[in-house]
Amino acid sequence: MLTTYVGTVYPWQCDQVGHMNVTFYMAKFDEATWRFFAHIGMDGSYFREKRGGMGAVEQHLTYRRELHPGDCVEIATEVLEVKPKSITFRHNMAEALSGDEVARCTITAVHIETSERRGSPLPEDVFKRAQALVS
């Protein structure tokens, strides 16, 4: 698995119950997604210059344990499936010091041609890099 996020839970990310709010689980998973995309060849310059993009078409979240202010967080990403136009991957969020899994997010994203806003084939080099990571 590829480490795609390392961070900390801040008090302002927590709700009135005292644990990290679901908004921030999603924000951390989103940051991990962009790091994963960069790793397989779709970084900021790719999206700007090639007019390609990725759109999430399905997401599943599972919460296993609460996170609290000061907890250290690490997200590892694994690729589950690569198709000509899409990638399905899973982020595993853990409390970094204990290693306990706290949440999991599985995403299917489709490569799009941004000018037409519809699915298009993944570039060959991106497809190969993603395929090499399939668990």
Q: How many domains does the chain have?
A: 1
The burial of 70, by beta-carbon neighbours within 10 Å (0-12 exposed, 13-18 middle, 19 or more buried), is given as: exposed
pLDDT at res. 50 = 81
Q: Give the domain CATH number at 74.
A: 3.10.129.10
Tens-digit pLDDT profile for residues 13-24: 999 999 999 999
The predicted model gives 33-45 an average pLDDT of: 95
The residue segments making up the domain with residue 92 are 2-131
pLDDT score for 87: 98
pLDDT tier for residue 132 given thresholds of 50, 70 and 90:
very high
> Rounded to whole angstroms, what are the CA distances from 82 to 4, 37, 39, 118?
18, 13, 15, 18
* pTM exceeds 0.85 for this model: yes
